[in-house]
Chain A
Amino acid sequence: MSAYITVATPMIDRDLLLQALADVGFGEGRIVVSDEPLPLVGYEGSQRAQVANVIVRRQYLSAASNDLGFISTPTGYRLIVSDYDRPRFGATWLVQVSERYRAREAERDARLRAEELERERERKRQLVEAQRSAIEAKAKRLGYSVTVERNQEKVRLVLVRRTY
């Protein structure tokens, strides 16, 4: 029976970890995900004492592999890998996963920033439109003819009232 070792990682976000694993070939269908940690299974089919929240089942590693897992901890996920599988799924493999994790994290952060910027732009657009609408309505009530001109995000209202 191959012993398991545990390796700390800085990866803390489950979705990003799953995306990183998919990037290195362990996509949906090859991964078991559970809020409650589940036991890992050894190459001979028996449950081991080690548990994990994200598990790559042994049949997707190699014929004689043991399950490989990631257990969630307050300081980040920890990789649980057997001695047998460590040459292929040890430190070097973990560097690949971590790089994909950081890349996915950067993509997510960029997407969140873009979404936040768009929300802010939309909020300002609505504010500008509310101002325009209020001024236009008041001007018309006072008898002004109003011309609305737009230049990108700026709005100009020209108020004319003939007195003859």
Chain B
Amino acid sequence: MSGRFINIARWISRSRANGPGERFVLWVQGCGLACEGCWNPDTWSFAPRQLLTPDQLLREVDRAGGIEGITLSGGEPFTQAEALVPFVESVRSRGLSVLVFTGFERAELRSRVASRLLALTDVLVAGRYDHTQVAKGLRLLGSQNQRIHFLSGRYGPEDLDDVARCEAHIAPDGVVTWTGFPGEFVNE
């Protein structure tokens, strides 16, 4: 496997709010789209944050155990497609599924390396986040203009029925980390 580094913002070992079943969720670091109202502006900078090789990251996935798949978010996964492809290939070789959140439209993902990552993706959630079209209650969507593409036969729309809207992870020190789409909940 390639030893090229992936620039990472953070990950959580298990989530049920980022795609079907229990998923390892990886937020990559770096995004040039700068969508207004983005939930993760701390992931925009391309400066190195945590640099891990695909092998190192794979060990974290293996450690999670008993998961359905992985979810790539960010940041913008497709700006690191070159480094992510060998990681995702290894993930798939373990029988795990792959869901990717991207701010690009699917039609914008035409490069050779983007196509390679797409070929390894089961579900693609695509499109800029538009804060004027917030998607309330739509599974996996931040705004209504975004689209969910089922790229392999592995999942269909019905598989999203049980996806949690959001999750709160409470650490032993009492710090609460939200994932998924908690906006409606947090901003009540």
Interface residues of chain A, those whose CB is within 8 Å of chain B, are 124, 127-128, 130-132, 135, 138-139, 142, 144, 152-164
* Interface status of B108 (Cβ within 8 A of chain A): no
Residue from A139, A144, A156, A164 within 8 A of B169 (CB atoms): A156
Closest-CB distance, B141 to chain A (whole angstroms): 12
Interface residues of chain B, those whose CB is within 8 Å of chain A, are 14, 16-17, 137-138, 161-162, 164-174, 176, 180, 182, 184-185, 188
B residues within 8 A CB of A155? 169-170
A residues within 8 A CB of B167? 156-159
**Do A160 and B165 have beta carbons less than 8 Å apart?**
yes
**Do A138 and B185 have beta carbons less than 8 Å apart?**
yes
Closest-CB distance, A125 to chain B (whole angstroms): 8
Q: A139-B185, A142-B188, A159-B185 are in contact. Are A128 and B166 (CB under 8 A)?
A: no
B residues within 8 A CB of A144? 165, 185
Q: A138-B185, A142-B185, A142-B188 are in contact. Are A160 and B164 (CB under 8 A)?
A: yes
**Do B168 and A128 have beta carbons less than 8 Å apart?**
no
B residues within 8 A CB of A139? 185
B residues within 8 A CB of A128? 170-172, 174
| Cβ-closest chain B residue relative to A139 | B185
B residues within 8 A CB of A162? 161
**Do A135 and B176 have beta carbons less than 8 Å apart?**
yes
B17, B165, B171, B182: most-surrounded residue (chain A CB, <10 A): B165
| Cβ-closest chain A residue relative to B185 | A142
Residue from A124, A130, A159 within 8 A of B173 (CB atoms): A124
B residues within 8 A CB of A135? 168, 170, 176
Residue from B162, B165, B168 within 8 A of A156 (CB atoms): B168
How far, in whole Å, are A124 and B174 apart by their CA atoms in the complex? 6
A residues within 8 A CB of B170? 128, 131-132, 135, 154-157
Closest-CB distance, B151 to chain A (whole angstroms): 24
| Cβ-closest chain A residue relative to B174 | A127
Q: A127-B174, A135-B176, A163-B137 are in contact. Are A157 and B168 (CB under 8 A)?
A: yes
| Cβ-closest chain B residue relative to A160 | B164
How far, in whole Å, are A162 and B165 apart by their CA atoms in the complex? 9
How far, in whole Å, are A158 and B170 apart by their CA atoms in the complex? 11
